[in-house]
Structure 1
Amino acid sequence: MFKLNTYLLASLLIVTSATTINAQEIVKKDDFEKPTMLSSDTSYGDGKEKVAVHEGNVKITQGTLEIKAEKLKVSAALGKDKEVFEAFGNPASYTQQLSDGTMVVARANHIRYEKANKIISLKGNAELYQNAFSIKTDSIIYDIEKEQWQAQKNTDSQQQVVTVFDGATLKKTKEALEKNKKETDK
């Protein structure tokens, strides 16, 4: 009887684990299946050129993905779901929940989001916080799906790529999320 119950418990745990993993994968993929919503104080565009500019309290959301900026240029010349969003701010910010439930937070003076490639490029005072590490430098390229980054300093810059690994970074990530939430609520 004990062996049978142990076997049933082990089977249940395996099925539950598989379901949890699939649910996490769905959360991540679900972001990109949701519509992209954009709000701002002002907006103007050119339908022939397929370009729009949004200014003042700009916020883009797509599922858990969120970009905030002072100014945003959207180019749709490549077609549907291939838009390129260029956000400018002091700093502009990006947040998104990852497949494991943790958050990634990024800030920079210029953030470029390529929707088709799911790539975020950060330039100017670039910062990336994920799990228990942070990176600060001049520019960072972040692949959202692969959760991979490439960071480098500008050739004329004195600022090197600084990576910090510690538990306090996770706390800073949470604080950054809280700060972004408070700014949104204003």
Structure 2
Amino acid sequence: MNRIKFFLLTALLSANSYASNPDYSQPIAITSDNNETSIKENISVYTQNVEIRQGSLTIKADRLEINATAGKGNEVFITTGNPVRYSQLLDGDIPVTANAAEIRYDLASRTLTLSGNAQLSQSGSQVQAAVIRYNLESQQISAESGEQQKRVTTIFTPENKENP
């Protein structure tokens, strides 16, 4: 049964879809209405109208905390909002969108962890779960149910093919 779930979840993001000129290799730009940074503690907090951009990757949130205690390239971005919204264009301009109460972006592993009413969509198909982990580099996802959400839901939208 776990193999079937894994297959269904990975089928959502096809193996031939990759972020063009990998977004994770692009600089990260952050805008917000407010920012407080503790250089000594390596923590930055951005609030109100927060937007993170890295190539075509965009995350919009109410609050962002960056923990840089592990050093450059190992920062962890923790965004919260009502909800936090993520979008990115894959090769061929295929949009991927997601939203959740919290999205955690781990630069070292190039992984987004969506938690709290998490939803990830691509090409009309979607996954809904308590927690969704999405690796930006490998385009792999995993989803988990939680106490409030008893099941993971995956909806596949069939491809419309024109009749010859």
Aligned residue in 1 for 2:73: 81
Q: How does 1:111-150 map to 2 (within 5 A)?
A: 111-150=103-142
Quick check: 1:166 aligned with 2:135? no
Unmatched runs of 5 consecutive residues or more in structure 2: 1-16, 160-164
* TM-score, normalization by structure 2: 0.81
Q: Is the 8 A contact 1:97 1:103 kept in 2?
A: yes
Q: Report Cα offsets for 1:61-111 as digits up to 9, x if no partner.
A: 011011100001001111112211000001001111113421111100000
Unmatched runs of 5 consecutive residues or more in structure 1: 1-23, 169-186
The amino acid across from 2:50 in the alignment is V
More helix by share: 1
Q: State which structure, 1 or 2, has the greater radius of gyration over its C-alpha atoms.
A: 1
Instruction: Give how far 1:167 is off.
Output: 5.0
Aligned pair partner of 1:110 in 99, 102, 121: 102
Quick check: 1:55 aligned with 2:40? no
* TM-score, normalization by structure 1: 0.72
Q: How does 1:30-49 map to 2 (within 5 A)?
A: 31-49=23-41
More strand by share: 2
Root-mean-square deviation (Å)? 1.8
Runs of 4+ in 1 over 2 A off after TM superposition: 24-28, 156-159
The amino acid across from 1:166 in the alignment is T
Over the matched positions of the two proteins, sequence identity in percent amounts to 36
Counterpart CA distance in 1 for 2:140 and 2:133 is 8
